[in-house]
Amino acid sequence: MAKATLLVLAAGLGSRYGGIKQMDPVGAYGEFVLDYSMYDAVRAGFDKVVLVIRDELEEPLKEHFKALDGKLEIAYVKQHLDDLPGGFTVPAERKKPWGTGHAIWTARNVIDTPFAAINADDFYGAKTFKALADFLLSPECDANTYAMVAFQLNNTLSENGSVSRGICTDDGHGFLASVVERTSIEGTENGARFKDDDGSWKPLTGLEPASMNFWGFTPSLFPRLETLFVEFLKAKGQELKSEYYIPSVVDTLIKRGEVRAKMLQTPERWFGMTYAEDRAQVVAKVKELTASGLYPEKLWN
């Protein structure tokens, strides 16, 4: 039987949040946002979870998920700054993680099935996991055909500050043509807007397909990630805050003709823990979804 792995990027520092947001309880029994993603993934067809973490999160997370021992395979991979391709070293004063592209590459030795890659602090919704699981477990998914699930941009914005999103375009045949990372997006009365590199604001409709780092890959991605990571390190490795983004990786691979990425859609409304002020809204939304019957009051019985 075909299998699929859920890869969760949970090593982020939470600089805008002001704490360890991936371990901030939002459910009635202390569940994290991550618990709900894992629950949705398992019922969609995923049978293994890999968590990319920092060293200090390993023991608390193992304790948190102790109830799943023997029920769900969970692997822990630590993301370290010095885990680099041969010939490269970390700049002496760099503290910032290398970004989502590096976080996924960190898991190269523990994943041998098609896999989804997601953020730990984002609530994506059950229909989003089902759409990607159906693709990953189908013959359409292969070494050169990946996928991403796009949200409608105005379903992904925070009321408490600007956000970063990959703005996507379709090639007219259901595949991703390009994805451009925009790092300062906020809602407006007429839709949305983003701040361009020159500091000026540019309008958006709010209806654009947006990447929320909900990707579907096969293990063929890992050598490609390394090749592009080497290119990144040569160009920007000495910058203390440069980041190797997975949307930029996929965009480059598409433009070079190496892969294509099926652009799946979800009607779900994203919510997450970008800012500390977001937590109250997340708690309220989880409570609402639980009351509606979409989740049991205690996830892991």
Domain assignment present for 298: no
**Which among 214, 127, 211 has a CA at the least distance from the CA of 169?**
211
Domain residues for 134? 5-291
Specify the CATH number for the domain of residue 191: 3.90.550.10
Stretch 288-293: mean pLDDT:
96
Domain assignment present for 299: no
Q: What is the pLDDT of residues 245-259, one digit of tens each?
A: 898 899 899 999 999
Domain assignment present for 268: yes
Stretch 236-246: mean pLDDT:
93
pLDDT score for 47: 95
DSSP sequence for 251-295: HHHHHTTS-EEEEEE--PPPEE-SSTTHHHHHHHHHHHHHHTTSS
Domain assignment present for 34: yes
Q: What is the pLDDT of residues 162-210, one digit of tens each?
A: 888 889 999 999 999 988 888 899 999 889 999 998 989 999 999 999 9
Question: At how many degrees (to 10) do helices 221-236 and 246-255 cross?
Answer: 100
Total of domains in the chain: 1
Domain assignment present for 91: yes
Maximum distance among all alpha carbons in the chain? 54
Domain assignment present for 296: no
pLDDT score for 46: 97
